[in-house]
Structures are given as structure tokens and as C-alpha cells.
Amino acid sequence: MLFDGDKAQSVLQACDIRPLPLTVHRPTLKEAKRVYNNLTQLYYETECSIMGEVLPLVENVTKFVQSTEAREEISVAPEEPILDSSSSHEAMAIPSNNATTPLHEAAKAGNVEQTMELLEQGLDPCIKDERGKTPYLLASDKEVRNTFRRFMALNLDKWDWHAAEVPSALTKEMEESQAAKQAEKDAKKKARAKELKKQKKARE
């Protein structure tokens, strides 16, 4: 119909002929005429008009791809930690668990002044080191342990002292009472030693 006969609509050797999708409905005479009319009609468009429609679409797609890539680069950029230089003490107070902190080191070294200073700066006494020990448990010096207890007495609600494994608070009144008892004990011990020395001398 298109390429044979005296009134062929086109030439088969034309290089621009391409298969086209065609929808055919019910096989009726009316449908056959509709298909015939569609197949026997040719439409021409100038190259300028086609390019005028295509180029803006290409530019829009290019801009969209570039903007999408830019957004992806921004979204995957690594986040840098932001620290406030005016609150260096607070920055020291938030190490992760299972890590040795300066408070661990000070307690282990028996440094009373540094231990109190770090507690006042806000270092967490509840943090455990790699061996699962809190700073208090590393303190072999009695005065360092008392430093934790004194700080606990003044800051009962600041930390979970049970988690810090500090056994009890040490108030000023308690220390005075302990000092008085120790003085009395020492006096009795001294008197006892003096009495024994006197008895030994009398026997001689």
C-alpha cells in the first residue's frame, strides 16, 4: 500500500524510514479507513523548529543534573565537630565510656589537688576505664579517696555516686568527729605506752 503500486506513498530505500508503533482497534471498515489515512499522511517539520524545542529541554536536564550532584556533594561532606573554645572544661567532661580520663590518671597517681580540680571542672567520676574501673577505685591513697567523698558531700545531685562507686559522703562534721576520735585514741595509746614504760622501770 505504501511502497507498491502506481501511487506508492513512499520509497522503501529511503534511509529515514523507521518502524512506527500503530494501535489498531476492532477490525471494522471504519477502523481500516482510519489506519489507512494515518499511514498515507506525511508531516514535515523544519530542523530549526525541532532544535528550538529540544535545546531548552537539554539545558533544563543539564541544569537539573548539575544541581542534584551539587546537593549530593554537600550532603555527603563530613561533619566537623564544633567545640566552643570558651567552655574547654565542658569539652573535657564528655569522653566516651570505657576510656581513661585525666581524672583516672590523677586518682591513680595520688594527686589530691589535681583530682579536686578536675572534679570541680566537671569531669565525670562515673566513667569506667578499659578495665571497668572508675577513678575512685584506682585511688590507692586515702586522701584522694576522701577527696571524692568530700566532693560528693557538696554535690550529691551532680553525679550518680553509686555508679561512681564512691561509698559515702564525707562532710566537715564527720571529719571533725573522726579527728576527735583519732586524737582520743592516740592519747590513750600514748598513756598506755607511758604506763608500760613506768612499770618496766619499776621492775628493774
Q: What is the pTM of this model?
A: 0.46
**Rounded to whole angstroms, how far apart are CA atoms 103 and 119?**
8
DSSP state of 27: S
Q: Which residue has the cell 592519747?
A: 187
What is the rounded distance in angstroms from the CA atom of residue 62 to the CA atom of residue 58?
A: 6
| Rounded Cα gap, residues 97 and 120, in angstroms | 20
The CATH H-level superfamily of 90-191 is Ankyrin repeat-containing domain (1.25.40.20)
* pLDDT tens column, 178-200: 888 888 888 888 888 888 887 87
First CA to last CA distance, the chain: 151
Domain boundaries, the chain: 1-65, 90-191
* Whole-number Å distance between alpha carbons of 165 and 136: 7
The secondary element (H helix, E strand) that includes residue 109 is helix 102-109
Beta strands in the chain (DSSP E): none
From first to last of its 204 residues, what are the pLDDT tens digits of the chain? Answer: 555 556 555 555 555 556 666 777 788 888 888 878 877 777 666 654 555 555 665 566 566 666 666 666 555 445 545 444 444 444 444 455 678 999 999 999 999 999 999 999 999 999 999 999 999 999 999 999 999 999 999 999 999 999 999 999 999 898 888 888 888 888 888 888 888 887 877 787
Tell which phi-psi region holds residue 5, choosing left (phi > 0), alpha (psi between -120 and 50) or beta.
left
